[in-house]
Structure 1
Amino acid sequence: MAERIDERAERVVEADGRVVCPGFIDLHSHVDLTLPDYPRVDGMIRQGVTTLVTGNCGLSPYPGSMDLAGFAAVLGGVPLAVHVAPLVGHGAIREAAMADPSGTPSEGEMTRMVELVETAMTQGAHGLSTGLIYDPGRFAGTAELVALARVVAAHGGFYASHVRDEGDGLVEAIAEAIAIGRTAGLPVQLSHHKAKRRRNWGRVAATLGMVDRARADGLDVMLDCYPYTASSTGLWAYAPNWWRPGDEVARERVQAGLEERFPGCTGRDGARTDLSDLVLSGLTGVGRLQRYEGMWLDEAAREENVSPADLVIDLLSTAEHVQVIDHAMSEADVWRVLAHPECAVGSDARLIHPDMPGVPHPRNFGTFPRVLGRLPLEEAVRKCTGLPARRMGWCDRGLLRPGAVADLLLFDPDAIGDRATFEEPRRYATGIDLVVVGGEVVIDGSDDTGAAAGRVLLRTGCG
């Protein structure tokens, strides 16, 4: 018999007509890049997220200028509103271990990468992430990834992958991720699963079938997805694979490389290419080109009287950073993926405060309420709580029961919803009355209490 608790509550909340559920666990975020400056994680906590998994897509602040222990110490010194569960990024590992991260690792560099993964896992990383469309992850071969994943497997972690291609090569990219998990012997998390470009719409039927078959064969494969038909990333992801930031390359060579990837983009006749799906959402250090922030890339190129390819070259040659929103997915595909029983919700959020510069993706402010408004309530809550907790190996989070961590939400099921749009992305969600993190109230109605209730959650067993 459970022990009766007779302590009187300091506060009693009338929850009649409301839903009480665990706090949402975001399996895929990039807020580790902004947390030190924006520790309240406003856009996320106000949509009910109480735990954020960071270090995704091969990107993490460690190793490099600090290790994971150092990063945890930094976050321990700021008023965190939410819990943070870190992965270690393969791209960061490559940058720290290799003289030329765009090359093939030497035996010594491979040994160093293994050591760095071992250190991160020993310090509490939950797994290894890859970003195989990004520099320098895209230069890694499968054998390298298997070798590093084996280190993660030995520590009970998982492999999360932004796969090598989400468009024409999607099926082959998913096959590679599954093969890495099977060969290395560890669970696989397919990040922000999607099929990009109209010619590939519908191919998620094949990739979800691959997930089902792998699971039937005994491999623990899960996926995550955000409920939008546009992605967002840096413009460098669209550059020729051999061109890296800082490289002095002849314009004609880059033009040819872009034309090979996006036929028609070097013309000025307005021909539609895959670059036509891009909106310039965040421009830093671009001088006079700053005025094009928020515009479609094609539209900006016409105003500049240059080809889309030339505008891409001008931006990448001068900018500190260029973020784009890529309107490339099908609504039917997005909801087919989200409906899969092994698909959890992941926001891919980074710009999580209204004051941050740029034109953020609405997912930074509306992901979780948007899912709750479009899937059956019980299933939507499971995809935001218990399912991601299972991926993380947590027995005391993502559910309501005696002894579980008190990460809790109180919301009105008739009022909860997303207000953020691509035109007005900085709008907070509605309908959430109370957010409790680790037993402390963080959001009370429309107010942030300022409670520093968040903790860095390092990997432990489930026993």
Structure 2
Amino acid sequence: MRKLISLFLPLLFLMACNTEPEFDLVILNGNIYDGSGATSISGDIGVKDGKIVAVGNLKNKKAIETIDATGLAVAPGFIDMHTHLEPIKELPQMESLVRQGVTFSLGGPDGGGPWPFGEYLSSLDTFPLGLNVGYLVGHNTIRNEIMGMEDRDPTEEELNQLEEMVSIAMEEGAFGISTGLKYLPGTFSKVDEVISLSKKASEKGGIYTSHLREEGLGLIDAVQEAIFISQEAKIPVILTHHKAIGVKMWGQSAKTLALVDSARASGLEIFMDQYPYAASHTGISVLIPSWALEGDKFEERVNHPQLREKIKEGIIFNILNDRGGSDLRRIQFSRVSWNKELEGKTLHDWAIESGLEPTVENGAELVIQAQLNGGTGAIYHAMDEKDVENIMKHPMTMIGSDGRLSSPGDGHPHPRAYGTFPRVLGHYSRDLGIMPLEMAIYKMTGFPAQVLGLKNRGKIEVGAIADLCIFNPNTVIDQATYIDPHQYPKGIDYVIVNGIIVVEYGAMSGKTPGKVIRKNKQ
């Protein structure tokens, strides 16, 4: 009897082993786009412990969860190269992003990264994040910490402090440095200062992303400045949310792209990211000359008759030649804390409601009033669709939403906050044929992962982290509009973050497996 039992027990053990699932998740029958730019292959994907452990025929394999992806595209999760994550602690699930298929988001753009850097990242470790996030250290942030909003060069001691701050942030996991040279106080910095700080990021393998000093009339010079920074600091440079803004600059993307090609031919690493819309978004203060805002003395200056006239002239110039697009109808309010009824309306509407002729001169006066009231967010319809398409097609362009984390009913955001990635897949790739689907996916997966140095992300292969997006290539599309922006996209069926399903059947699952990713500590 004992002999029979001793023979039977191993058999029972083998039978038990055979009934245990081999995978946590199996995705069956998908059209797999691996993130390299290659065309799709049909197959299955097995996930265990947050990683892809098998790609092939897994039809007879057991799994805890199974997704039938028949007729669907299976891609790496999308990487957002430029996101305004400031409300992350209020919106940790990041639904406006994750429902677009985003599984990693790069925060701290335009010179606005958090500080103290490591302390902020540690605080996020305790939040239930819907997707993975990483951060850049912001030049404007650290300059403001040391020098305030002063229009001057740093002293030698101050420059040493700024350099040390960049080095500390890089040690604490920053992916690089961002600048906002159009914004205060970054606009007051000279190129030598930016180069010195960028060298510190370069020493740790970081990148440099730049909101250029100008994107309108001074665009060409601004691109050349960024290329010079790359050359002198020996650092990869990303021209972030690259565009040509203002009617007089329409068509100039041909020149900026030629500059990128020339710089790359000389051995420099110059890249771009872009959102797929012909309208930008920033504060109303972008229409005001920088000198007028220096030192928090704007109110004092506009109360001086001669200075007010000079400020007004600068605003009129920017309305006619830069983001204003030569028409008050092109300036649309997105967030107005002091008058919610203006949200979604234009500067032209506000003039009419105020009993004013909608002239550029009256528009400039209203801009001054808006700034005195505390400022506003605004959408600027001042770009040309052809430039958007030309930049998107360029082989060195990645995708970044430049969107702010949003929730329905809160303000009137730019539609990019809800629709960037589905819009590229549906409108530009499928409907307009700007580029094949596999290339669109590459621009938002494998390519940015490579530029950022994200280990084992942005690709579908054995050993990679299971960040995945499953979508319907025939129906995927953005639904957010400039009139009605709070609309989630269609066609994003599943999103998987670190092996866990966070979007299921197009709805949030409630799971929050996202992590804070530190570049030098992956």
Range class of TM-score, shorter chain: over 0.9
Out of 152, 164, 169, the residue aligned to residue 201 of structure 2 is: 152
- 1:249 counterpart = 2:301: yes
2:503 aligns with one of 422, 425, 443: 443
Q: How far off is 1:452 after superposition?
A: 1.7
The aligned residue for residue 30 of structure 2 is: none
Equivalent residue for 2:217, pick from 156, 164, 168:
168
> In structure 2, how many angstroms separate the alpha carbons of the residues matched to 1:191 and 1:58?
11
Give, as a single letter, the amino acid of the residue that structure 2 aligns with 1:250. Answer: V
Matched residue, 2:397: 343
Is the radius of gyration larger for structure 1 or structure 2?
Answer: 2
2:175 corresponds, among 126, 143, 159, to 126
Q: Residue 96 of structure 1 aligns to a residue in which SS? A: helix
Q: Is the 8 Å Cα contact of residues 117 and 172 (structure 2) preserved in structure 1? A: yes
Is 1:378 matched with 2:438?
Answer: yes
Aligned to 1:16: 70
Q: Deviation string for 1:372-429 (max 9, x for gaps)?
A: 1112211111111011111101241101000000001111111111111111111101
Q: How does 1:316-331 map to 2 (within 5 A)?
A: 316-319=371-374, 321-331=375-385
Decide which moves more: 253-262 or 362-371.
Answer: 253-262
Cα distance 1:259–1:292, how it changes in 2: closer, same or farther (>3 A)?
A: same
Alpha-carbon distance in 1 for matches of 2:175, 2:345: 38
Cα distance per residue 1:229-280 (max 9 Å; x no partner): 00000111211111224542134323422313524979xxxx9836552111
Please point out which of 321, 324, 330 is paired with 1:277. Answer: 330
In the alignment, is the contact (CA less than 8 A) between 2:247 and 2:326 conserved in 1?
Answer: no
The answer for the alignment partner of 1:314 in structure 2 is 369
User: Paired residue for 2:114, among 61, 68, 71?
Assistant: 61
- Give % identity: 38
The runs of at least 4 aligned residues of structure 1 exceeding 3 Å deviation read 2-8, 99-102, 263-266, 271-276
In the alignment, the residues of structure 2 paired with residue 220 and residue 401 of structure 1 have an alpha-carbon distance, to the nearest angstrom, of 26
**Deviations 1:18-48 (Å, cap 9, x if unpaired)?**
11110000001111x1101001111110010
Q: Which residue of 2 aligns with 1:213?
A: 262
For residues 147 and 94 of structure 1, the distance between their equivalents in structure 2, rounded to whole angstroms, comes to 13
Normalising by structure 1, report the TM-score: 0.92
Q: Secondary structure at the match of 2:160?
A: helix
**CA contact 1:36–1:74 (8 Å) conserved in 2:** no
How far apart, in 2, do the equivalents of 1:4 and 1:237 lie? 50
Q: Compare the two structures and name the one with the higher helix fraction.
A: 2
Residue 79 in structure 1 maps to residue 133 in structure 2: no
- Map 1:95-134; keep pairs closer than 5 Å: 95-134=144-183
Q: Partners of 1:417 and 1:447 in 2: how far apart?
A: 16
2:302–2:311 contact (8 Å) kept in structure 1: no
Gaps of 5+ in 1: none
SS at match of 1:420: coil
CA distance in 1, matches of 2:92, 2:109: 18
Equivalent position of 2:456 in the other structure: 396
Give the match's secondary structure for 1:34: helix
User: What is the DSSP-based 3-state SS (H/G/I as helix, E as strand, rest coil) of the residue aligned with 1:102?
Assistant: coil
Q: How many equivalent residue pairs?
A: 447
Q: Does 1:195 align with 2:249?
A: no
CA distance in 1, matches of 2:282, 2:325: 20
Tell which deviates more after alignment, 95-104 or 114-123.
95-104
CA RMSD between the two structures = 2.1
Question: In 2 relative to 1, CA 415–179 (structure 1 residues): closer, same or farther, beyond 3 Å?
Answer: same
**Which runs of no fewer than 5 residues in structure 2 stay unpaired?**
1-51, 357-361, 430-435
**Alpha carbons 2:333, 2:347 under 8 Å: kept:** yes
Q: Which of 338, 341, 347 is the aligned partner of 1:297?
A: 347
Q: 1:272 to 1:362 in 2, by over 3 A?
A: closer
CA contact (8 A) 2:325 2:382 kept: no
For residues 160-210 of structure 1, the C-alpha deviation after alignment (integer angstroms, 9 at most, x for no partner) is 000000010100000000100100101000000000011111100000011
Q: 1:93 aligns with which of 142, 154, 179?
A: 142
Letter in 1 for 2:114: P
CA distance in 1, matches of 2:297, 2:63: 59
Task: Measure, in 1, the Cα distance between the counterparts of 2:211 and 2:125.
Answer: 28
